[in-house]
Protein backbone atom coordinates (compact mmCIF):
# COMPACT_ATOMS: atom_id res chain seq x y z
CA UNK A 1 0.00 0.00 0.00
CA UNK A 2 1.68 3.15 -1.22
CA UNK A 3 -0.19 5.60 0.98
CA UNK A 4 -0.26 3.96 4.40
CA UNK A 5 -0.02 6.33 7.33
CA UNK A 6 3.58 6.09 8.54
CA UNK A 7 3.00 6.72 12.24
CA UNK A 8 5.74 6.60 14.85
CA UNK A 9 3.44 6.19 17.88
CA UNK A 10 0.46 4.09 18.89
CA UNK A 11 -0.52 1.10 16.76
CA UNK A 12 1.27 0.72 13.44
CA UNK A 13 1.09 -1.71 10.53
CA UNK A 14 2.80 -2.10 7.18
CA UNK A 15 2.66 -4.73 4.46
CA UNK A 16 5.39 -2.99 2.45
CA UNK A 17 8.30 -5.02 3.85
CA UNK A 18 10.26 -7.99 2.54
CA UNK A 19 12.56 -10.25 4.51
CA UNK A 20 15.00 -12.45 2.60
CA UNK A 21 12.82 -11.98 -0.46
CA UNK A 22 9.52 -12.84 1.26
CA UNK A 23 6.64 -10.38 1.63
CA UNK A 24 6.44 -9.56 5.33
CA UNK A 25 3.81 -7.75 7.39
CA UNK A 26 4.79 -5.94 10.58
CA UNK A 27 2.30 -5.03 13.32
CA UNK A 28 3.35 -3.13 16.41
CA UNK A 29 2.25 -0.91 19.25
CA UNK A 30 3.95 0.57 22.30
CA UNK A 31 4.68 -2.87 23.79
CA UNK A 32 5.15 -5.49 21.05
CA UNK A 33 6.34 -5.89 17.47
CA UNK A 34 5.19 -8.87 15.39
CA UNK A 35 6.62 -9.95 12.01
CA UNK A 36 4.54 -12.23 9.77
CA UNK A 37 5.94 -13.97 6.67
CA UNK A 38 2.99 -13.54 4.30
CA UNK A 39 4.79 -15.37 1.49
CA UNK A 40 5.51 -18.38 3.68
CA UNK A 41 2.42 -19.65 5.44
CA UNK A 42 1.63 -16.33 7.13
CA UNK A 43 4.01 -17.65 9.79
CA UNK A 44 4.54 -15.47 12.85
CA UNK A 45 8.30 -15.32 12.60
CA UNK A 46 9.04 -12.86 15.38
CA UNK A 47 7.10 -11.69 18.45
CA UNK A 48 9.12 -9.11 20.38
CA UNK A 49 8.28 -7.62 23.77
CA UNK A 50 9.78 -4.16 23.40
CA UNK A 51 10.31 -3.17 27.07
CA UNK A 52 12.53 -6.22 27.69
CA UNK A 53 13.80 -6.79 24.12
CA UNK A 54 12.55 -10.39 24.30
CA UNK A 55 11.63 -12.39 21.20
CA UNK A 56 9.56 -15.42 22.17
CA UNK A 57 9.62 -17.24 18.83
CA UNK A 58 12.24 -19.95 18.49
CA UNK A 59 14.43 -19.81 15.36
CA UNK A 60 15.93 -22.81 13.61
CA UNK A 61 19.69 -22.61 12.97
CA UNK A 62 19.07 -22.37 9.21
CA UNK A 63 16.38 -19.69 9.50
CA UNK A 64 14.21 -18.20 6.76
CA UNK A 65 14.80 -19.40 3.20
CA UNK A 66 13.21 -18.09 0.02
CA UNK A 67 11.61 -21.16 -1.56
CA UNK A 68 11.93 -19.61 -5.02
CA UNK A 69 15.73 -19.64 -4.88
CA UNK A 70 16.32 -23.32 -4.18
CA UNK A 71 15.23 -26.75 -5.32
CA UNK A 72 14.77 -29.51 -2.70
CA UNK A 73 17.56 -32.06 -3.24
CA UNK A 74 15.06 -34.91 -2.76
CA UNK A 75 11.32 -35.35 -2.95
CA UNK A 76 11.03 -36.73 0.59
CA UNK A 77 7.71 -35.35 1.95
CA UNK A 78 9.11 -34.69 5.43
CA UNK A 79 12.43 -33.16 4.47
CA UNK A 80 10.86 -30.61 2.11
CA UNK A 81 8.87 -29.08 4.98
CA UNK A 82 11.78 -29.19 7.41
CA UNK A 83 14.17 -27.64 4.89
CA UNK A 84 12.04 -24.48 5.01
CA UNK A 85 11.02 -24.58 8.66
CA UNK A 86 12.29 -21.37 10.24
CA UNK A 87 10.70 -21.84 13.67
CA UNK A 88 8.07 -19.48 15.03
CA UNK A 89 4.33 -20.11 14.67
CA UNK A 90 2.64 -21.91 11.76
CA UNK A 91 -1.06 -22.46 11.14
CA UNK A 92 -1.16 -26.13 10.10
CA UNK A 93 -4.29 -27.40 8.35
CA UNK A 94 -5.78 -29.69 6.94
CA UNK A 95 -3.04 -32.23 7.78
CA UNK A 96 -1.05 -31.96 11.00
CA UNK A 97 1.69 -34.47 11.71
CA UNK A 98 3.98 -36.78 9.80
CA UNK A 99 3.67 -37.54 6.10
CA UNK A 100 0.80 -39.74 4.96
CA UNK A 101 -1.94 -40.14 2.37
CA UNK A 102 -5.55 -39.04 2.85
CA UNK A 103 -8.44 -38.86 0.37
CA UNK A 104 -6.04 -39.98 -2.37
CA UNK A 105 -3.65 -37.07 -1.79
CA UNK A 106 -0.11 -37.33 -0.48
CA UNK A 107 0.62 -34.93 2.38
CA UNK A 108 4.08 -34.05 3.60
CA UNK A 109 4.69 -33.32 7.25
CA UNK A 110 2.23 -30.66 8.46
CA UNK A 111 0.45 -30.34 5.13
CA UNK A 112 0.79 -27.51 2.65
CA UNK A 113 -0.70 -24.17 3.76
CA UNK A 114 2.36 -23.39 5.88
CA UNK A 115 4.53 -23.56 2.77
CA UNK A 116 2.53 -21.35 0.38
CA UNK A 117 1.99 -17.58 0.09
CA UNK A 118 -1.10 -16.08 1.72
CA UNK A 119 -3.07 -13.07 0.51
CA UNK A 120 -3.03 -10.06 2.82
CA UNK A 121 -5.49 -7.25 3.43
CA UNK A 122 -5.02 -4.48 5.98
CA UNK A 123 -8.52 -3.94 7.41
CA UNK A 124 -7.83 -1.54 10.31
CA UNK A 125 -5.08 1.06 10.54
CA UNK A 126 -5.53 3.62 13.31
CA UNK A 127 -3.42 4.65 16.32
CA UNK A 128 -5.92 2.76 18.50
CA UNK A 129 -6.05 -0.53 16.56
CA UNK A 130 -4.48 -2.34 13.62
CA UNK A 131 -5.73 -5.50 11.93
CA UNK A 132 -4.62 -7.55 8.96
CA UNK A 133 -6.39 -10.49 7.34
CA UNK A 134 -4.41 -13.36 5.81
CA UNK A 135 -6.07 -16.00 3.63
CA UNK A 136 -5.00 -19.04 1.64
CA UNK A 137 -6.30 -22.26 0.10
CA UNK A 138 -4.82 -25.69 0.57
CA UNK A 139 -3.40 -27.14 -2.63
CA UNK A 140 -4.48 -30.73 -1.94
CA UNK A 141 -7.82 -30.36 -0.16
CA UNK A 142 -10.68 -27.90 -0.75
CA UNK A 143 -9.88 -26.06 2.49
CA UNK A 144 -9.88 -22.28 2.71
CA UNK A 145 -8.21 -20.79 5.78
CA UNK A 146 -8.34 -17.20 6.98
CA UNK A 147 -6.89 -15.48 10.02
CA UNK A 148 -7.12 -11.88 11.19
CA UNK A 149 -4.41 -10.57 13.49
CA UNK A 150 -5.19 -7.51 15.63
CA UNK A 151 -3.36 -5.29 18.12
CA UNK A 152 -4.85 -2.52 20.22
CA UNK A 153 -2.98 0.35 21.78
CA UNK A 154 -1.45 -0.32 25.18
CA UNK A 155 -1.93 -4.10 25.11
CA UNK A 156 0.82 -6.72 24.58
CA UNK A 157 -1.73 -9.33 23.47
CA UNK A 158 -2.23 -10.39 19.86
CA UNK A 159 -5.83 -11.31 19.10
CA UNK A 160 -6.39 -13.83 16.30
CA UNK A 161 -9.71 -14.65 14.64
CA UNK A 162 -9.23 -17.73 12.50
CA UNK A 163 -11.57 -19.77 10.33
CA UNK A 164 -11.41 -22.89 8.21
CA UNK A 165 -13.97 -23.54 5.43
CA UNK A 166 -14.64 -26.77 3.57
CA UNK A 167 -15.25 -25.64 -0.02
CA UNK A 168 -15.74 -29.20 -1.22
CA UNK A 169 -19.01 -31.01 -1.78
CA UNK A 170 -18.26 -33.83 0.63
CA UNK A 171 -17.68 -33.91 4.38
CA UNK A 172 -14.00 -34.09 5.33
CA UNK A 173 -11.87 -35.09 8.30
CA UNK A 174 -9.00 -32.73 9.05
CA UNK A 175 -6.33 -32.07 11.63
CA UNK A 176 -5.89 -28.42 12.68
CA UNK A 177 -2.74 -27.51 14.59
CA UNK A 178 -1.33 -24.19 15.81
CA UNK A 179 2.38 -25.00 15.61
CA UNK A 180 3.97 -22.63 18.16
CA UNK A 181 7.66 -23.09 19.04
CA UNK A 182 9.17 -21.12 21.93
CA UNK A 183 12.89 -20.73 22.54
CA UNK A 184 15.43 -18.82 24.62
CA UNK A 185 15.64 -16.40 26.34
CA UNK A 186 12.24 -17.06 27.92
CA UNK A 187 12.89 -20.81 27.70
CA UNK A 188 15.53 -22.04 30.14
CA UNK A 189 15.95 -24.36 33.09
CA UNK A 190 14.60 -21.48 35.21
CA UNK A 191 11.27 -21.62 33.34
CA UNK A 192 8.01 -23.14 34.60
CA UNK A 193 5.10 -24.38 32.49
CA UNK A 194 1.54 -23.83 33.70
CA UNK A 195 -1.54 -25.50 32.20
CA UNK A 196 -5.00 -26.22 33.67
CA UNK A 197 -5.70 -29.50 35.42
CA UNK A 198 -5.44 -32.16 32.73
CA UNK A 199 -4.35 -35.63 31.70
CA UNK A 200 -0.90 -36.12 30.22
CA UNK A 201 -0.32 -38.65 27.44
CA UNK A 202 3.10 -39.64 26.17
CA UNK A 203 3.54 -40.67 22.57
CA UNK A 204 2.58 -44.33 21.91
CA UNK A 205 6.19 -45.13 21.07
CA UNK A 206 9.53 -43.39 21.54
CA UNK A 207 10.00 -40.86 18.76
CA UNK A 208 13.79 -40.75 19.02
CA UNK A 209 16.69 -42.75 20.48
CA UNK A 210 17.06 -39.91 23.02
CA UNK A 211 13.42 -40.00 24.14
CA UNK A 212 13.14 -40.18 27.92
CA UNK A 213 9.40 -40.58 28.46
CA UNK A 214 7.82 -43.97 29.09
CA UNK A 215 5.86 -44.69 25.88
CA UNK A 216 2.07 -44.83 25.99
CA UNK A 217 1.94 -43.35 29.49
CA UNK A 218 -1.23 -41.66 30.79
CA UNK A 219 -1.60 -39.84 34.10
CA UNK A 220 -2.59 -36.65 35.85
CA UNK A 221 -0.72 -33.40 35.20
CA UNK A 222 2.11 -32.66 35.92
CA UNK A 223 3.94 -35.95 36.64
CA UNK A 224 5.02 -38.29 33.84
CA UNK A 225 6.91 -41.57 34.10
CA UNK A 226 10.32 -41.80 32.47
CA UNK A 227 11.78 -44.92 30.90
CA UNK A 228 14.47 -45.11 33.59
CA UNK A 229 11.88 -45.40 36.38
CA UNK A 230 12.02 -41.80 37.52
CA UNK A 231 9.09 -39.36 37.51
CA UNK A 232 9.36 -36.11 35.56
CA UNK A 233 7.66 -32.91 36.70
CA UNK A 234 6.32 -31.27 33.53
CA UNK A 235 6.06 -27.89 35.24
CA UNK A 236 9.85 -27.73 35.06
CA UNK A 237 11.78 -27.14 31.83
CA UNK A 238 15.02 -29.15 31.56
CA UNK A 239 18.27 -27.51 30.41
CA UNK A 240 19.73 -28.22 26.99
CA UNK A 241 22.13 -30.61 28.71
CA UNK A 242 19.14 -32.91 29.23
CA UNK A 243 19.70 -34.05 25.61
CA UNK A 244 16.16 -35.39 25.24
CA UNK A 245 13.61 -35.33 22.43
CA UNK A 246 10.02 -36.34 23.21
CA UNK A 247 6.37 -35.80 22.31
CA UNK A 248 3.57 -35.57 24.85
CA UNK A 249 -0.02 -34.34 24.85
CA UNK A 250 -2.24 -32.67 27.45
CA UNK A 251 -6.00 -33.18 27.24
CA UNK A 252 -9.17 -33.12 29.31
CA UNK A 253 -8.75 -29.45 30.22
CA UNK A 254 -11.84 -27.45 31.17
CA UNK A 255 -10.25 -24.31 29.69
CA UNK A 256 -7.71 -23.88 26.93
CA UNK A 257 -4.60 -21.99 27.95
CA UNK A 258 -0.96 -22.31 28.91
CA UNK A 259 1.76 -20.04 30.25
CA UNK A 260 5.55 -20.22 30.34
CA UNK A 261 7.23 -18.09 33.01
CA UNK A 262 10.97 -17.57 33.37
CA UNK A 263 11.38 -17.24 37.13
CA UNK A 264 14.80 -15.65 36.79
CA UNK A 265 13.63 -12.73 34.60
CA UNK A 266 9.88 -12.78 35.50
CA UNK A 267 9.07 -12.63 31.77
CA UNK A 268 6.44 -14.98 30.42
CA UNK A 269 4.48 -16.06 27.36
CA UNK A 270 0.78 -16.95 27.50
CA UNK A 271 -1.68 -18.41 24.98
CA UNK A 272 -5.46 -18.82 25.27
CA UNK A 273 -7.53 -20.91 22.85
CA UNK A 274 -10.94 -22.64 22.63
CA UNK A 275 -10.62 -26.08 24.15
CA UNK A 276 -13.89 -27.10 22.48
CA UNK A 277 -12.04 -27.11 19.12
CA UNK A 278 -8.45 -27.70 20.22
CA UNK A 279 -8.94 -30.63 22.57
CA UNK A 280 -5.24 -31.47 22.78
CA UNK A 281 -2.16 -29.44 23.62
CA UNK A 282 0.81 -31.01 21.88
CA UNK A 283 4.10 -30.71 23.76
CA UNK A 284 7.18 -31.09 21.57
CA UNK A 285 10.14 -31.33 23.98
CA UNK A 286 13.27 -30.70 21.91
CA UNK A 287 15.75 -30.21 24.73
CA UNK A 288 19.05 -30.71 22.93
CA UNK A 289 18.42 -34.36 22.14
CA UNK A 290 17.65 -34.29 18.45
CA UNK A 291 20.67 -35.69 16.61
CA UNK A 292 21.05 -36.13 12.89
CA UNK A 293 18.93 -34.27 10.34
CA UNK A 294 17.76 -31.59 10.86
CA UNK A 295 18.67 -30.76 14.46
CA UNK A 296 22.20 -32.20 14.87
CA UNK A 297 22.10 -31.52 18.60
CA UNK A 298 21.83 -27.76 18.09
CA UNK A 299 18.27 -27.09 19.13
CA UNK A 300 16.60 -26.15 22.40
CA UNK A 301 12.93 -25.36 22.15
CA UNK A 302 9.46 -26.24 23.36
CA UNK A 303 6.56 -26.63 20.97
CA UNK A 304 3.29 -25.93 22.80
CA UNK A 305 0.69 -26.45 20.12
CA UNK A 306 -3.12 -26.43 20.43
CA UNK A 307 -4.54 -29.16 18.19
CA UNK A 308 -7.85 -30.75 17.34
CA UNK A 309 -6.44 -34.26 17.36
CA UNK A 310 -4.26 -36.78 19.18
CA UNK A 311 -0.99 -38.09 17.79
CA UNK A 312 1.23 -36.62 15.13
CA UNK A 313 0.46 -39.17 12.44
CA UNK A 314 -1.85 -36.92 10.43
CA UNK A 315 -5.41 -37.28 9.19
CA UNK A 316 -5.47 -41.07 8.83
CA UNK A 317 -4.24 -41.68 12.38
CA UNK A 318 -6.75 -39.15 13.75
CA UNK A 319 -9.53 -40.93 11.86
CA UNK A 320 -8.46 -44.26 13.31
CA UNK A 321 -8.35 -43.00 16.91
CA UNK A 322 -11.55 -40.95 16.57
CA UNK A 323 -10.01 -37.51 17.11
CA UNK A 324 -10.16 -36.06 13.58
CA UNK A 325 -12.14 -32.83 13.22
CA UNK A 326 -15.04 -33.41 10.85
CA UNK A 327 -16.05 -30.43 8.77
CA UNK A 328 -19.17 -30.67 6.64
CA UNK A 329 -19.33 -29.57 3.01
CA UNK A 330 -19.59 -25.75 2.89
CA UNK A 331 -19.16 -25.54 6.68
CA UNK A 332 -16.93 -22.92 8.35
CA UNK A 333 -15.35 -23.48 11.77
CA UNK A 334 -14.04 -20.38 13.56
CA UNK A 335 -11.86 -19.88 16.63
CA UNK A 336 -10.46 -17.00 18.68
CA UNK A 337 -6.89 -17.20 20.00
CA UNK A 338 -4.91 -14.75 22.12
CA UNK A 339 -1.16 -14.77 22.65
CA UNK A 340 1.43 -12.49 24.11
CA UNK A 341 3.96 -11.66 26.80
CA UNK A 342 3.39 -10.93 30.46
CA UNK A 343 5.53 -10.10 33.47
CA UNK A 344 5.16 -11.14 37.08
CA UNK A 345 6.04 -13.74 39.67
CA UNK A 346 4.24 -16.64 41.26
CA UNK A 347 1.97 -19.46 40.10
CA UNK A 348 -0.20 -18.79 37.05
CA UNK A 349 -3.73 -19.98 37.73
CA UNK A 350 -5.50 -18.77 34.58
CA UNK A 351 -5.12 -17.04 31.22
CA UNK A 352 -8.43 -15.63 30.00
CA UNK A 353 -9.60 -15.28 26.40
CA UNK A 354 -8.24 -11.71 26.28
CA UNK A 355 -4.76 -12.86 27.31
CA UNK A 356 -4.99 -11.58 30.90
CA UNK A 357 -2.86 -13.65 33.28
CA UNK A 358 -3.99 -14.38 36.85
CA UNK A 359 -1.55 -15.38 39.59
CA UNK A 360 -2.47 -17.32 42.71
CA-wise closest residue to 207 among 312, 78, 317, 314: 312
d(CA 101, CA 198): 32
Biggest alpha carbon distance in the chain? 63
Q: How many domains does the chain have?
A: 1
Q: Is residue 151 pLDDT above 90, yes or no?
A: yes
| CATH number of the CATH domain containing 326 | 2.70.98.10
Q: Are 338 and 355 in contact (CB under 8 A)?
A: yes
pTM above 0.85, yes or no: yes
Q: Is residue 77 pLDDT above 90, yes or no?
A: no
d(CA 350, CA 360): 9
Q: Is residue 70 pLDDT above 80, yes or no?
A: yes
What is the structure's pLDDT at 1? 63
Between strands 332-343 and 267-272, the pairing is antiparallel
Q: Which region among 4-18, 123-137, 190-204 has the lowest average model confidence (pLDDT)?
A: 4-18
Q: Return the ∠ at Cα 214 (arms to 60 and 185), rounded to 5°.
A: 30
Q: Is residue 3 pLDDT above 80, yes or no?
A: no
pLDDT averaged over the chain? Answer: 96
**Residue 256, in any domain of the structure:** yes
Model confidence pLDDT, tens digit, residues 225-261: 999 999 999 999 999 999 999 999 999 999 999 999 9
Model confidence pLDDT, tens digit, residues 309-354: 999 999 999 999 999 999 999 999 999 999 999 999 999 999 999 9
For residue 333, what are the β-bridge partners?
Answer: 164
Which secondary-structure segment (H or E) carries 340? strand 332-343
**Residue 199, in any domain of the structure:** yes
**Residue 5, in any domain of the structure:** no
What is the structure's pLDDT at 329? 98
Q: Is residue 32 pLDDT above 90, yes or no?
A: yes
End-to-end CA distance of the chain: give it in Å, rounded. Answer: 46
Spell out the residues 6+ positions from residue 296 whose beta carbon is closer than 8 angstroms to its own: 290
**Residue 76, in any domain of the structure:** yes
Q: Is residue 264 pLDDT above 70, yes or no?
A: yes
Residue span of the structural domain in which 140 resides: 12-359
**Residue 110, in any domain of the structure:** yes
Mean pLDDT over 158-173 rounds to 98
Which secondary-structure segment (H or E) carries 318? helix 315-321
**Residue 311, in any domain of the structure:** yes
Q: Which region among 4-8, 95-99, 323-327, 329-333 has the lowest average model confidence (pLDDT)?
A: 4-8
DSSP 8-26: SSSSEEEEEEEETTEEEEE
Q: Is residue 2 pLDDT above 80, yes or no?
A: no
What is the structure's pLDDT at 34? 98
Across 273-320, the runs of DSSP E, i.e. the strands, are 280-287, 300-307
Spell out the residues 6+ positions from residue 229 whose beta carbon is closer than 8 angstroms to its own: none
**Residue 93, in any domain of the structure:** yes
Q: Is residue 209 pLDDT above 80, yes or no?
A: yes
**Residue 18, in any domain of the structure:** yes
Amino acid sequence: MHYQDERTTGCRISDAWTYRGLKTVILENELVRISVLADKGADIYSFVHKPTDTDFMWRTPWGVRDQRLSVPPTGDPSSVWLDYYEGGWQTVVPHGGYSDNAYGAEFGIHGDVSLIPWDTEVIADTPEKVSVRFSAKSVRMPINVSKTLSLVSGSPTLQIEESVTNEGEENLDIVWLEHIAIGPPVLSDKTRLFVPESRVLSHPESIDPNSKLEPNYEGDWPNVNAKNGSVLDFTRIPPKEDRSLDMAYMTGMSKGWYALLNEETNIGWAVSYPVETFKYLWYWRNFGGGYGYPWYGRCYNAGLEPCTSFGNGGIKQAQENGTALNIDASETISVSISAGPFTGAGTVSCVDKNGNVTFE
